[in-house]
């Protein structure tokens, strides 16, 4: 009997008739308990058969029967100690309630996890979702427009569906736009593709279609950053190229745009910050006009424009021909990223005013916490006012879509498990508006905590971060 009715005792509350699907992971049952009680899964202690239930436990070892009683321990955070309304079961919820409780995933159409994970990670950017929703284009033979329309319609399906979505139309459109993604194996099955390549291709298509948007939502005329992708995902580098063999030769300064930074992984790189810094220093060989022969040059790049959303490619594959060997080294990344030291002196000066505001805010928060601790008090949990938090602008006034502080907060991680980019399995790990995290494993969605996300740093055969998406850290208004 895969589905059994059980009861759950939580403090003074008891919930009868909770349906437990023994074919689903224990994490799904914890998500059900979250919708009933408000106790987040990572704060739950569910007692079963004298022990504590783990997310990866198989129900078969417990032999759960009809009417079994579970005991739940945990605090519901800012929610009341006991529900004031009758508990709502998943089968009784509206589509909107289901979407809020547990967003839906995407069905794997046959080695399409690379696409599913990319789609879910990009969905973490609210401005991108809004730009797609405003897009009025329809069916077209232009592949960029067709892909943009298909993504817009796919997001609409995800927003209104209570079940996992089958992305037939989006997949077919992507195959038409990038024929190499439609390659079949000798068994006539779709071949696995590189998620980083999919990410890059999608942003390229969207850049052709989504116009730049102003702070009030109006469409801006073409400018230096003439489309939405360049505006919100695009940065700029200023590079100084100098001849290491002939120091007296005048150096050359160039500028170039980027949609992602790379973290090259070597034996000395243990942290993301070092990998980024090393990746901005290159050695190249080119002809020197002063001596008319090839010389070794040093190219030192600094960031002269920061985008709202900073994409980092963890360069984990060493490509030889069409196959990429995996670099498994553990390279730690954090929930917060500060790129101030990677910027040009001119940009650093522009970042300082907002960074000063952040420091004052952080200092005040630390002092408040210290005072509460010293006084033995507790922070008020009064939520009766339901105040909407207002934030300071995170972009420069004259450059909407930029980052005006250099501070970022992790929004999504696209992870890979396996030894080759064209095999294995991809997942999307996405931060929600309320700060919680969800793991999108194709059509299955799990709530996870931040610690699990930060464990995607590598060092073994488990999932490890391949694409990191950072968004602007936002400063509440005083």
DSSP string of 363-394, one letter each residue = HHHHHHHHHHHHHT-------TT-PPPPB--S
Radius of gyration of the chain (CA): 25
The token duo for 130 is: 């809004």
DSSP 161: -
The token duo for 193 is: 């593709």
The token duo for 63 is: 């032999």
| Catalytic annotation present for 264 | no
The answer to whether residues 388 and 396 touch, using CB atoms and an 8 Å cutoff, is no
The token duo for 213 is: 């948007």
Of the residues 68, 113, 208, 343, only one is catalytic, namely: 113
Alpha carbon distance 341, 211 (integer Å): 31
Contacts of 137-145 with C-beta under 8 Å, sequence gap 24+, read: 137/209, 143/173, 143/176, 143/177, 143/205, 144/177, 144/204, 144/205, 144/206, 144/208, 144/209, 145/208, 145/209
The answer to whether residues 462 and 334 touch, using CB atoms and an 8 Å cutoff, is no
Alpha carbon distance 95, 98 (integer Å): 5
Of the residues 68, 175, 264, 425, only one is catalytic, namely: 425
In the block, which residue shows the tokens 């790049």?
301
Label each residue of 86-154 as H, E or C.
CCCCHHHCCHHHHHHHCCCCECCCCCCHHHHHHHHHHCCCHHHHHHHHHCCCCCCCCHHHHHHHHHHHH
DSSP string of 178-227, one letter each residue = -GGGG-B-TTS-BPP--HHHHHHHHHHHHHHHPBPB-TTSPBPPP-SS-B
Query: What number of other Cβ atoms are within 10 A of residue 344's Cβ?
Result: 16
Alpha carbon distance 38, 454 (integer Å): 24
DSSP 451: H
CA atoms within 13 A on the CB side of 431: 20
| Catalytic annotation present for 113 | yes
Q: Which residues are catalytic?
A: 113, 425
């Amino acid at each position: 009997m895969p589905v059994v009715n059980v009861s759950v005792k939580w403090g003074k509350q008891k919930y009868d008739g909770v349906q437990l699907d023994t074919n689903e992971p224990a994490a799904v049952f914890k998500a059900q308990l979250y919708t009933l009680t408000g106790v987040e899964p990572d704060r739950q202690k569910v007692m079963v058969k004298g022990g504590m239930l783990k997310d990866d436990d198989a129900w078969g070892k417990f032999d759960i029967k009809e009417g079994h009683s579970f005991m739940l321990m945990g605090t519901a955070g800012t929610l009341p100690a006991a529900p004031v309304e009758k508990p709502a079961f998943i089968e009784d919820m509206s589509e909107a309630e289901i979407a809020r409780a547990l967003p839906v995933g995407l069905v794997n159409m046959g080695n399409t996890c690379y696409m599913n994970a990319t789609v879910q990670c990009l969905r973490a950017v609210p401005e991108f979702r809004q730009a797609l929703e405003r897009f009025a284009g329809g069916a077209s033979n232009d592949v960029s427009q067709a892909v943009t329309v298909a993504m817009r319609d796919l997001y609409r399906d995800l927003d209104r569906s209570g079940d996992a979505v089958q992305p037939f139309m989006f997949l077919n459109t992507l195959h038409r736009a990038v024929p190499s993604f439609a390659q079949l194996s000798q068994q006539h099955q779709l071949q696995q593709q590189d998620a980083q390549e999919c990410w890059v291709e999608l942003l390229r298509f969207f850049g052709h279609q989504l116009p730049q948007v102003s702070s009030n939502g109006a469409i801006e005329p073409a400018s230096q950053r003439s489309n939405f992708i360049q505006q919100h995902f695009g940065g700029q580098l200023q590079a100084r190229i100098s001849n290491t063999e002939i120091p007296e030769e005048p150096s050359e300064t160039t500028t170039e745009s980027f949609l992602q930074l790379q973290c090259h992984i070597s034996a000395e790189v243990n942290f993301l910050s070092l990998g980024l810094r090393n990746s901005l220093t290159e050695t190249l060989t080119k002809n020197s006009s002063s001596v008319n022969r090839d010389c070794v040059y040093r190219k030192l790049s600094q960031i002269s424009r920061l985008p709202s959303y900073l994409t980092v490619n963890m360069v984990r594959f060493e490509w030889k021909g069409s196959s990429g060997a995996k670099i498994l080294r553990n390279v730690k990344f954090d929930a917060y990223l500060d790129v101030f030291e990677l910027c040009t002196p001119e940009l650093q000066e522009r970042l300082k005013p907002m960074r000063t505001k952040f420091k004052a805010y952080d200092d005040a928060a630390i002092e408040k916490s210290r005072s509460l601790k010293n006084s033995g008090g507790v922070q008020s949990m009064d939520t009766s006012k339901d105040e909407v938090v207002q934030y300071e602008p995170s972009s420069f006034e004259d450059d909407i879509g930029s980052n005006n502080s250099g501070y970022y907060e992790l929004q999504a991680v696209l992870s890979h498990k396996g030894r080759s980019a064209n095999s294995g399995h991809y997942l999307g790990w996405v931060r929600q508006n309320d700060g919680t995290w969800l793991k999108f494993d194709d059509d299955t969605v799990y709530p996870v905590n931040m610690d699990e996300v930060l464990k995607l740093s590598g060092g073994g055969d488990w999932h490890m971060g391949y694409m990191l998406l950072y968004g602007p850290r936002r400063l509440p208004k005083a």
